Amino acid sequence: MKKIILLIFVIMFISCDPVSCTEEIISNSTGSDLYVNFISSDVSFNNEVFVEKQSRKTIGQVECGLGGVLVNYSIYIKNSSNEILKVFKEDIAGKNIYNIDEYWSVSEPSKNHFVYTYEITEEDLE
C-alpha cells in the first residue's frame, strides 16, 4: 500500500507544470535616451525605466511562476525633455509593444528561464 501511495505521489509531482521564470528587456536602438513608462491601475506597479540610446534595460525583476508574459499596463515613451513621443494602445495597427507574439523576441538562456526583448526603433517613435 505504501508503494502505491508513493507511486501516486511521484506521478502527481512529475505531471505538475514546471515553474518558469521570465525576464522582460527593453532595447533602445534609437539615437536618443528614452524613458519608458508603465502605468497600472495599481499605483504600486507603476514603473519608469530609463534606457540610454543604443542600450538595453531589464524591466522590473525576474518573475517566476506559471504562465508567460502579460502586458497589463498603459505604456508610453518620453524623451529626456519629458515630451511624450509615443503612446501604445492595445488596438493600434502596425508595430505594437502589446503584440508579444509578433514584436518581442524570445530566448531561453537556461531551462525554464525565458527572456523577452522588445526593441524600440525609430519606427516606434513615428
pLDDT at 40: 78
What share of the chain has pLDDT > 70, as a percent?
78
Each residue's pLDDT tens digit, 42-71: 776 778 899 999 999 988 777 787 655 555
pTM given for the model: 0.74
Strand residue runs (E) in 41-112: 47-51, 55-65, 74-79, 84-88, 104-110
Each residue's pLDDT tens digit, 73-99: 788 999 999 999 999 888 888 888 888
Q: Is residue 10 part of a domain?
A: no
CATH code of residue 67: 2.60.40
For Cα atoms 126, 55, 72, give the angle at the middle one, nearest 5 degrees: 65
Range of the domain at 67: 19-125
Within 13 A of 4's CA, how many CA atoms are on the CB side?
1
Q: Is residue 3 part of a domain?
A: no
Each residue's pLDDT tens digit, 8-37: 444 444 445 567 888 889 999 999 999 999
SS3 content of the chain, % helix, strand, coil (to 5): 20, 45, 35
- The number of distinct structural domains making up the chain is 1
Q: Is residue 1 part of a domain?
A: no
